[in-house]
Structure 1
Amino acid sequence: MNKPSFLFILNPNSGTSIGRNTGEVKKTIDSFAKKFGAEVTMLFTEERAHATTLVRENLDLQPWKAIVAVGGDGTVNEIAQPLVNTEQPIGIIPLGSGNGLARHLGIPLTLEASLTRLFEGKITTIDSAQINDIPFFCTAGMGFDAYVGHLFSQQSQRGLATYVNVSFQSYWNYKPQRFKLNGVETDAFSLSFANAGQFGNNAWVAPQASLQDGLLDVCTIKPFPKWYGTSLAYQLFTKQMKASRYIDYQHMTEAVVETQVPPMIHYDGEPFQLDTTRIEVKIKPQSLRVIV
C-alpha cells in the first residue's frame, strides 16, 4: 500500500521564532510523518509570492494528500491561491504572527498539535473571496487596518506586541477616509470584508462570520471620538464586536467600493497599494478544500 504523500511549503521568514527555526521544524515534521506513515516533500520559499510558484510547479507531480502551508496567513494565502476550485486540499501548520484562518478553523497553534491534526484530520470545504481579482481567505479591507498592515510589514520584529505597538502609534494620527460602498457614500475609519471572523491574534472583527455561508460580513467602522478606541479594542479582542452607533454590519455576496484616490488595501494581512479607485469584492462559495 502506498503511503500518503504530503507537500510541505515552509516560509522561513514567517512571524515567530519557530517559523524561522527551519532545521527543528523539518526534523519535527519528518518525525511525525514517520509516526503516521506518510511521505513528505518539503520546499522553502525565498521571496514574496514564491509559494504560489512552488504550488503551480508541483501540483500535478503526484496525487498529494495535502499541500501544506507552514507559516502565517500570508503563506496560507499564497499556497491556497492556485488551489481555489480544485480538488486539492490545503493543510495549515500555523507558525505565523497572526494565524487568523487557522484560529477560526480551530486548528491548534503548536507545531506538534497542528501536525497531529493534519495527519488525523478531515477535509472540509470553505468559501474564498476576491478583492480586485486578488484571492483572500480570511479578511480584506481598507482604511486603518490596511494602513497598520503596511506599517507592520516594514517592522523587523513580528508578533502581537509589535502589531499592538504599531496600531497604537498609528491611531492618534490616522484620519478617516471617504468611501462609496455600493453607491452609498460614507466616511469610515475602516472597511473590512470578512470571510473568516478575525484578522488574526484573536482580533475578531466579525464574530458571526462563517466560512461556509456563501456571504461576506462587511464591517464599516465609522468615525468615532478618540476615547472610544479603548472600547473598540476591547470588543475586538473579546469577540464582542456588534452593530452599534459606530459599527455597521452588512452581509453581501459582492460589493463595489469607490474611493477618491487609489487606496492601500490588505488581503489576509498583506498590504497592497492599488492603482485604481474602483474596488470589486466578491465571495466564491465552497471553493477551497481544507484539512481541519
Structure 2
Amino acid sequence: MCSFSYFCLSSSSFLPDPVSNYLFILNPNSGTSIGKKPGFVKSTIETVARQSGHQAKIIFTEERAHATTLVAENLKIEEWKAIVAVGGDGTVNEIAQPLVGLDTPIGILPMGSGNGLARHLGLPLTLPAALKRLFEGTVTTIDSAQLNDIPFFCTAGMGFDAYVGHLFSQQSERGLATYVNVSFKSYWSYKPQSFRLNGSDINAFSLSFANAGQFGNNAWIAPAASLQDGFLDVVTISPFPKWYGTSLAYQLFTRQMKASQFISYQTVKEAFVETETPPMIHYDGEPLQLDTNKITVKIRPHSLKVII
C-alpha cells in the first residue's frame, strides 16, 4: 500500500538482490545539513548499507555539474543497482541527466534546501528513513522534461521565481528561512515581464513549467501535476495588486493554488516562449542566464527510473 504525500505511483519492479552495489554521490554544499557534517552522512550510509547487506561506493562532488561527470564515468565501470543523489533538487538534476532513457534507476536521499521532487514522490526526509526506503523500495518510471537542451525533473520557469532563485544562490546560508527572506525583499521591487507564450503576448509575474507539483518546501505551484501523465502543467501568474501577495503565498504553501483572476493553468506536451531579451531562468531551482530569447519546453514521457 502506497503512503505518498500526494498520490501513489505505480511500481514496476522490486529490488530482489540480497547484495547489490549502490553508488552514492554526495553534494557537500547541499541544503543546511550535509555541508556541516558530511562525514556523519557518509558513515551513516556505509553503516546502514552494510547492515542491509548492500555495498556502497560513496563519492563527493567538488563543483557544479561534477555529479553528471561522475555518473557518466562510473556507468562505464560497472552496473549499479542504483545511483543515489545525496543532496537537493540541483544534485538530483545533475545525477538524473545521464540516467534519462537508461535502465539504471536514481535513488534520492533528500538533504537539500527544498527537496521538491522527493517531497512530491513522498520520500522520507530523514536520513535513516530515506535509506530504509532506498533499500526496500520499488522502481517506477516517471516523466522528465527539457528546456532547450537543459533537462529538468521537477519545475522550471522564468520571471519572479527565477529572479529569487538567482538571488538565493548568492546567499551564504541556505534553507527555507533564507529563501523566504530573499523572496520577501524581492517582492516589493520586482517588475512583471513580457513573454510570448505559444504565439500569444502576455505580461506575467512568473511563468512556470511543472513536471512535479512543487518547487520544494511544500510550495505547491501546480497541485494537480502528475509525474506520469506525459504532460507539463504551465502556470502563468499575471500581475496582481501587492495586497494579493499574502493570499498567493497562503495558497502556495497550503496546496490550494487553482485557476483564478490572476492564475491560469494549461497542460501541454510542448511550449514555445519568446522574450524581449535572453531571460534568467531556473531549472529544478538552479538559476541560469540564457544567451537566447527563444525557449522550447517539452515533456519526455516515461524516461527516468526512480526508486520510491
TM-score range relative to shorter protein: over 0.9
Counterpart for residue 87 of structure 1: 103
Paired residue type of 2:157: G
Deviations 1:153-186 (A, max 9, x none): 0000000000000000000000000000000000
Is 1:6–2:26 an aligned residue pair? no
Partner of 2:85: 69
- Does residue 12 of structure 2 align to residue 17 of structure 1? no
Tell me whether 1:43 sits opposite 2:55 in the alignment. Answer: no
Q: Indicate the SS of the match to 2:128.
A: helix
- Distance in 2, matches of 1:170 and 1:65, equals 43
Q: Aligned to 1:201, which of 213, 217, 226? A: 217
Q: Is the 8 A contact 2:18 2:54 kept in 1?
A: no
2:259 to 243, 249, 257: 243
Question: SS in structure 2 opposite 1:109?
Answer: coil
Partners of 2:212 and 2:32 lie apart in 1 by 22
Partner of 2:43: 27
* Alpha-carbon distance in structure 2 between the residues aligned to 1:238 and 1:2: 41
CA contact (8 A) 2:230 2:302 kept: yes
Structure 2 CA distance, aligned partners of 1:132 and 1:233?
29
Please report how far the alpha carbon of residue 15 of structure 1 lies from its aligned counterpart in structure 2 after TM superposition. Answer: 1.0
TM-score scaled to structure 1, two decimals?
Answer: 0.99
Is the 8 Å Cα contact of residues 154 and 284 (structure 2) preserved in structure 1?
Answer: yes
1:226 equivalenced with 2:226 (yes/no): no
- One-letter identity of the residue aligned with 1:144: F
Q: Match of 1:9, SS?
A: strand
User: Paired residue for 1:54?
Assistant: 70
Which residue of 79, 91, 94 maps to 1:78? 94
1:291 aligns with 2:279: no
Percentage of identical aligned residues: 75
- Aligned 8 A contact 1:19 1:71 in 2: no
RMSD: 0.9
CA contact (8 A) 1:19 1:96 kept: no
Unaligned runs of 5+ in 2: 1-16
SS across alignment from 1:229: helix
TM superposition shift of 1:2: 7.3
In the alignment, structure 1 residue 114 sits paired with structure 2 residue 130: yes
C-alpha separation between the residues in 2 aligned to 1:94 and 1:167?
23
1:150 aligns with 2:188: no
1:7-64 superposed Cα distances (whole Å, 9 cap, x missing partner): 0000000011245411100111011101110001000000000000000000131110
For residues 221-255 of structure 1, the C-alpha deviation after alignment (integer angstroms, 9 at most, x for no partner) is 00000000000000000000000000000000000
| Aligned residue identity for 1:64 | W
In the alignment, structure 1 segments of 5+ residues that lack a partner are none
Query: Which of 219, 232, 242 lines up with 1:216 in the alignment?
Result: 232
Question: Which AA in structure 2 matches 1:52?
Answer: T
Asked if the contact 1:77/1:136 (under 8 Å) is kept, the reply is: yes
Aligned twin of 1:181: 197
**Partner residue in 2 for 1:124:** 140
Aligned length: 292
**1:197–1:210 Cα contact (<8 Å) kept:** yes
1:33 partner SS:
helix
| Worse overlay, 26-35 or 194-203 | 26-35
The TM-score with structure 2 as length reference comes to 0.94
User: Secondary structure at 2:235's aligned position in 1?
Assistant: strand
Q: Runs of 4+ in structure 1 displaced over 3 angstroms?
A: none
CA distance in 2, matches of 1:227, 1:261: 29
Could you say what secondary structure the match of 1:280 adopts? Answer: strand
